Structure 1
Amino acid sequence: MSSLGGNHQQVEVVCVTGASGYVASWLVKLLLDHGYTVKATVRSLSDPSKVGHLKALEGAKERLHLFEANLVEEGSFDSIVDGCQCVFHTASPVILKVSDPQAELMEPAIKGTLNVLESCRKVSSIKRVVITSSTAAVMTNRNPRGPDVIIDETWFSDPEFCQETEQWYNKSKVLAEKAAWKFAEENGIDLVVMNPGFVLGPLLQPTLNFSSEAFLSLVKGEDLFSEYTFVDVRDVAYAHLLAFENPLATGRYCLVGSTVNYGAIVNILHKFYPSLNIQYNGSGDPKMFQVSKKKAESLGVKFTPLEVSLKDTVESLKEKGFLTI
């Protein structure tokens, strides 16, 4: 039996940072469903909107241990990751409008990642570290993006281009990821990185996260981006689990189920929810570039169809009172 792999008597304790987040909540749920004991970090244990939905998960009473940790405080993860076989580092700020990019984004993203890795470096039980990055660390560069272009794991965003175009979030993601790769290489850490696109799907947490807010804007008729690289939150969580359990997992994984423009989204939403009445004046449906699924599928990821994800997101937002149709 591999030390990485499905023997849960042996592979028992894992850590998830930023556990109250959108992807992380699903990851915690999945890990508990698979029999793991989970040490989960949150910013505040006293905030019910951050911990209530985690405590309510099946298996949480017996196998979920919540801790408070500060991303930028050195050593704050030392005792938490001790005894873990894997650390899933999902915690990182997601803000697009910032007044101080350095303090609000760069520092917590880069320093936070290095802090967690520094704690992992000291623990011999840790077999692998899985970091949640983003396609923001992959796609933001001067490369042309026409219908004949396939973006894959060899692409990295260009920090200078991000700076010029003031895409601070994207800059924080690529710098944090590059810092992680450098640290892992220098310290012999087995690192795997997940690069999901625009995450959608049902919410476990009671509050809106960035991508759910962005999705609400879409439903209200705002075309936020020129293209959308969508992936279902459940697929992202499952990919993280596979990245740990599959001993052959290595390097980066682009996680994008479909690349579409706004018109395609509107068409699907109209089909299921004609009453939404989204005004869209876009012309035609130009062919989009593609993001390669090869590597993710080789890991065992099966992407949820976009129609299912869109419908489940709308239903979840309705159920939680964020959307009335």
Structure 2
Amino acid sequence: MNGGGNVVCVTGASGYIASWIVKLLLLQGYTVRATVRNPTDAKKTEHLLALDGAKERLKLFKADLLEECSFEEAIKGCDAVFHTASPVKFDVKDPQTELIDPALKGIMNVLNTCKRAPSVKRVIVTSSTSAVCVRQLESTDVVDETFFSDPSLCTKMKLWYPLAKTLAENAAWKFAKENGLDMVVMNPGFIIGPLLQPTLNFSVEIIVDIMNGKNPFNSSHYKFVDVRDVALAHVKALETPSANGRYIMDGPSMKTHDIKEILLESFPDLCLANT
């Protein structure tokens, strides 16, 4: 499949990864139906409407993860669907309401709509390495796409975001298998790179925290992947007929010290706080 004449839907289109997916799809000639919670909110939509090709081939649709059938209009008649919409938070007061319900109910709403839309040939879902890595591991274990995080361990450790992503992905695979849905899942790690949206998102904020002398995950090592690579991988997952299953996207392990060195190399005038 290539862009010309094909219509695709991107859920949560104003988000960090989704905005880049929309940009690449438009550049390749796709017609894009983009869902957002509020199409009249200029802060969330202006950067999308300014993209090359948006005037001719981008249409915004109102949809909410918790509202059944709200994706119907956007998905009807589409050749494929990119489901990226899901909250990204690690500091939550009510994990069920803030994370689990939107992730789980949202993905089921989208997949149920795709099942009812005969035009949809493939669904590409954005999951996370957090749905892969939270489990009891032996020191010799190499984590690959066959690994799933353990929901009971996530709950025990109060890792609510990994729990939400794991429950959502597990439910999605069960549904896809039971209903013969062609689904490909992307599992990126921490994502960095240029922002298209005007607001700072969670994963880029990690870099800002490190610049300010904080260590958000109290970790000596971080792994990052470029948002442009992640977006391109999503598009390739649509355009490559043999693509199937899950794909981990992650970069090499870096020490916080290395991250600061790279920042200073790129921006010599930067004032970095000491950790």
1:266–1:280 contact (8 Å) kept in structure 2: no
Cα separation, partners in 2 of 1:213 and 1:7, compared to 1, 3 Å: closer
Aligned counterparts of 1:214 and 1:261: Cα–Cα separation in 2: 13
CA deviations over 1:27-61 (Å, ceiling 9, x no partner): 00000000000000001112111000000001001
Work out which of the residue numbers 130, 137, 140 in structure 2 matches 1:136. 130
3-state SS in 1 of match to 2:269: helix
> Is residue 203 from structure 1 mapped to residue 195 from structure 2 by the alignment?
yes
> Is residue 162 from structure 1 mapped to residue 158 from structure 2 by the alignment?
no
Counterpart of 1:184 in structure 2 is 176
Aligned counterparts of 2:61 and 2:247: Cα–Cα separation in 1: 28
Cα separation, partners in 2 of 1:261 and 1:149, compared to 1, 3 Å: farther
Work out which of the residue numbers 14, 21, 30 in structure 2 matches 1:27. 21
Aligned counterparts of 1:7 and 1:233: Cα–Cα separation in 2: 21
Work out which of the residue numbers 2, 5, 28 in structure 2 matches 1:6. 2
Instruction: For 1:15, give the aligned amino acid.
Output: C
2:3–2:31 contact (8 Å) kept in structure 1: no
Percent of matched pairs sharing the same residue: 55
> Is residue 37 from structure 1 mapped to residue 24 from structure 2 by the alignment?
no
Deviation at 1:218, TM superposition (A): 1.5
> Is residue 97 from structure 1 mapped to residue 84 from structure 2 by the alignment?
no
Work out which of the residue numbers 220, 223, 228 in structure 2 matches 1:229. 223
2:9–2:80 contact (8 Å) kept in structure 1: yes
Counterpart of 1:284 in structure 2 is none
Instruction: For 1:167, give the aligned amino acid.
Output: L
Counterpart of 1:17 in structure 2 is 11
Deviation at 1:212, TM superposition (A): 2.1
Aligned counterparts of 1:31 and 1:50: Cα–Cα separation in 2: 19
3-state SS in 2 of match to 1:199: strand
- Matches for 1:1-325 after TM superposition, within 5 Å: 5-6=1-2, 8-9=4-5, 12-144=6-138, 149-225=141-217, 226=219, 227-280=221-274
Aligned counterparts of 1:176 and 1:187: Cα–Cα separation in 2: 16
Tell me how many residue pairs correspond in the alignment: 273
Aligned counterparts of 2:8 and 2:85: Cα–Cα separation in 1: 15
Aligned counterparts of 1:53 and 1:7: Cα–Cα separation in 2: 21
Deviation at 1:154, TM superposition (A): 1.3
Counterpart of 1:293 in structure 2 is none
Q: Which blocks of at least 5 consecutive residues in structure 1 are unaligned?
A: 282-325
Instruction: For 1:204, give the aligned amino acid.
Output: L
Aligned counterparts of 2:232 and 2:130: Cα–Cα separation in 1: 20
Deviation at 1:210, TM superposition (A): 1.3
Cα separation, partners in 2 of 1:7 and 1:210, compared to 1, 3 Å: closer
3-state SS in 2 of match to 1:276: coil
3-state SS in 2 of match to 1:129: strand
Deviation at 1:267, TM superposition (A): 2.0
Cα separation, partners in 2 of 1:7 and 1:57, compared to 1, 3 Å: closer
CA deviations over 1:102-132 (Å, ceiling 9, x no partner): 1111000000000000000001111100000
Instruction: For 1:248, give the aligned amino acid.
Output: S
Aligned counterparts of 2:154 and 2:259: Cα–Cα separation in 1: 27
Aligned counterparts of 2:265 and 2:26: Cα–Cα separation in 1: 36
Instruction: For 1:8, give the aligned amino acid.
Output: G
Q: Which blocks of at least 5 consecutive residues in structure 2 are unaligned?
A: none
Deviation at 1:266, TM superposition (A): 1.7
CA deviations over 1:61-96 (Å, ceiling 9, x no partner): 100000010111111111210110100000001111
Provide TM-score, normalisation by structure 2. 0.95
Deviation at 1:142, TM superposition (A): 1.8
Provide TM-score, normalisation by structure 1. 0.81
1:133–1:177 contact (8 Å) kept in structure 2: yes
